[in-house]
Structure 1
């Protein structure tokens, strides 16, 4: 099973990776930059596995670069808040 198969699993996976990045000293800005690059890659090369991922892809594709950065930052907050 891929982490992309289930949105809840995907959020848990991302939260774990964000925690690891922070533990290694990455700043929030650096994490957001990486998230923006990952979002761009996923949007271009990975077919969404569920309805939540489809919505995220459609939002990403409709957004400007600045809006994509905001989406990446919001996704980081979403996964961090969901683990609390």
Structure 2
């Protein structure tokens, strides 16, 4: 089973990678840039496997570059806030 098969697994995976990046001293600006690059890659190369991913893909494809950065930052906040609850 891939982490992409289930949205909860995907958020867990992202949260773990985010924590590792923070522990290794990566600043928020770099994390934000990397998140947008991952979004570009996923939108171009990975077929959504569930409704949440389909929504994110549709939003990504309709967004301009600034909006994509906001979406990437929102995903970072989503997994950060998830760890806090």
Determine the structure 2 residue equivalent to 1:29: 29
Aligned mates of 2:15, 2:35 — CA distance in 1: 12
Query: Where do 5+ consecutive residues of structure 1 fail to align?
Result: none
- For normalisation by structure 1, the TM-score amounts to 0.98
- Contact kept? 1:12, 1:83, Cα under 8 Å: no
Aligned mates of 1:23, 1:78 — CA distance in 2: 18
Aligned mates of 1:48, 1:72 — CA distance in 2: 17
Query: Structure 1 segments of 4 or more deviating over 3 A?
Result: none
- Contact kept? 1:5, 1:50, Cα under 8 Å: yes
- For normalisation by structure 2, the TM-score amounts to 0.97
Aligned length: 84
Q: 1:24-74 CA deviation, whole Å, 9 max, x = no partner?
A: 110001000000000000000000010000000000000000000000000
> CA RMSD of the aligned region, Å?
0.5
